[in-house]
A and B are shown apart, each in its own frame.
Chain A
């Protein structure tokens, strides 16, 4: 029975793009968070104002009720995968449990710089935390390879135990509405049958390695393994990223995908961005190689730029089709140079996603590889 050992466990998760700006101020080196002006905090919140939502609602691939009908039990009950609600942090020297190549999810926002190790989040999927004075939820779905940050107001998010498109379905503990992670939009569920359709306010987290994050942010805080739970953070039930193996590197999915597509392998990583108007995805490895790629999001020109400091990328709306180039270390627009995450264009929340997951939710996505 040794074959079973590395991959027991379970599932859940979800998030999406709000299309609107977060009310949070980005740190000077934070990733672009949104496309539009910040909406008033709490406006348009779900069922009584518990969860801050964005002014614009993201596009859903189908009717919310139909999405609910596609939810499957991933195995664990509600909160069977326990969110971390009282996180503690250590300095970089206290993170001896991380190897240089281990993936971490980094954020620099509101004066806080934090790294959330994948090896901890794979066992919890949600961390209810604060960045500065902003209550946030950092969410990770191992089965779709998606990391998304959300404002949470004064409530917290938990893991529902259900999956749609193999992707985490979160619920908020104030209204118990379902929030599929990638979609980041409320849909009906068994605990709240009419939550309305609203999208969460999102902020970006960077999927990078511990070595790269620490080099860029030597004073970063790191989520501690002292989570209040008796978990073995040396064991990933699905596979391994360092080196790549198991679920993360093969073609299997736990449940059927929403859409089949043979253009790319299922687990290939794309940098995805979406607004209320549509979605676009850039192949991550191609972007890191070419540094700058252009494309369209539902006919609006966009540009994707790589950030080689962290091996990530950002997508910007570029309706005026300004020429964006690179001199090798910075990005050039006209005569001025910028850091990749700070172009004078409207940034769209961009995050890594496995191809099957992105295409499942956004079958009409523009895609560049």
Chain B
């Protein structure tokens, strides 16, 4: 392998290690940690709401776990990334459904939170270079929307008044993986601009 071929890899490695260092730095600062946690919790709630797993219900106080919950936990329900709820928690007017989507949502919410946390750091960093503050927040919002839409399935099109086709329905299954890749990409894009030494 030539040295020239190694250059992009080295640059990527450097960007990743910078991102990791910046991520650690995020959690050393209470204000940045608050941004991460606040964004992640907010995103998770919206994600579950969009999925219908956190919504107004029929009322009452009740916890139900379905039989064979473990087996059903990994069973797709309404689409490739929409899994079967295995427990229902009703607390007054609100009903929460627990499924693998809560775990997935937590993962995506963490990535969204970290993106915003790093953006916050880049913004707070004295004489921060480049694109940091405004565009990375925007970058993080695109995959966030994609991941939510992916789980909603084609019926989301009813709301938008768009008529579905086979191609659109097929495309839905790629939205969640695309969202995760975009979130990781934007994370590195922002993270590489932060110099932990200058924080």
B134 to chain A, nearest CB (A): 21
Which chain A residues border B65 with CB–CB below 8 Å? 230
| A235 contacts B by Cβ under 8 Å | yes
A267 to chain B, nearest CB (A): 12
B67 and A235 contact, CB distance less than 8 A: no
Which chain B residues border A226 with CB–CB below 8 Å? 64
For chain B, residues 69 to 102, give those with C-beta under 8 angstroms from any C-beta of chain A. 76-79, 82, 84-88, 95, 97-99
A237 and B59 contact, CB distance less than 8 A: no
Classify the interface of chain B: helix, strand, loop or mixed: mixed
| B51 contacts A by Cβ under 8 Å | yes
A234 and B158 contact, CB distance less than 8 A: no
| B34 contacts A by Cβ under 8 Å | no
B155 and A230 contact, CB distance less than 8 A: no
Mask, B130-169, CB within 8 Å of A = 1, is 0000000000000001001101111111110101111001
For A, the interface residue count at a CB cutoff of 8 angstroms equals: 42
| B37 contacts A by Cβ under 8 Å | no
A43 to chain B, nearest CB (A): 38
Which chain B residues border A84 with CB–CB below 8 Å? none
Residue positions of A touching B, CB distance < 8 A: 1-11, 72-77, 80-82, 97, 119, 225-226, 228-235, 237-238, 246-247, 250, 252-256
Q: Beyond A232-B57, A256-B163, is A238–B78 a contact (Cβ under 8 Å)?
A: no
A1 and B155 contact, CB distance less than 8 A: no
B61 to chain A, nearest CB (A): 13
Which chain B residues border A73 with CB–CB below 8 Å? 166, 169
B91 to chain A, nearest CB (A): 12
Per a CB cutoff under 8 Å, which of A11, A80, A81, A232 touches B52?
A232
| B49 contacts A by Cβ under 8 Å | yes
Q: Beyond A9-B78, A234-B95, is A1–B50 a contact (Cβ under 8 Å)?
A: yes
B86 and A4 contact, CB distance less than 8 A: no
Q: Provide 26 A-B residue pairs closer than 8 Å at the C-beta atoms, listed in order of the A residue.
A: A1-B47, A1-B49, A2-B50, A5-B55, A7-B159, A8-B152, A9-B78, A9-B152, A75-B78, A75-B79, A75-B153, A75-B169, A80-B78, A82-B77, A225-B58, A229-B85, A230-B84, A230-B97, A230-B99, A234-B55, A246-B158, A247-B158, A252-B158, A252-B163, A254-B157, A255-B165
| B106 contacts A by Cβ under 8 Å | no
- Which residue of chain A has its CB nearest to the CB of B89? A230
Which chain A residues border B158 with CB–CB below 8 Å? 7, 238, 246-247, 252, 254
B79 and A80 contact, CB distance less than 8 A: yes
Per a CB cutoff under 8 Å, which of A8, A246, A254 touches B163?
A254
A232 and B55 contact, CB distance less than 8 A: yes
B153 and A255 contact, CB distance less than 8 A: no
Known: A5-B50, A74-B169, A82-B77. 10 other contacts (CB 8 A): A3-B159, A8-B51, A10-B153, A75-B154, A226-B64, A234-B59, A235-B52, A235-B56, A237-B155, A254-B158
| B46 contacts A by Cβ under 8 Å | yes
- Among B56, B76, B156, max chain A CB count under 10 A is at B156
Which chain A residues border B77 with CB–CB below 8 Å? 76, 80-82
Per a CB cutoff under 8 Å, which of B50, B58, B164 touches A4?
B50
A250 to B164, CA, bound (A): 16
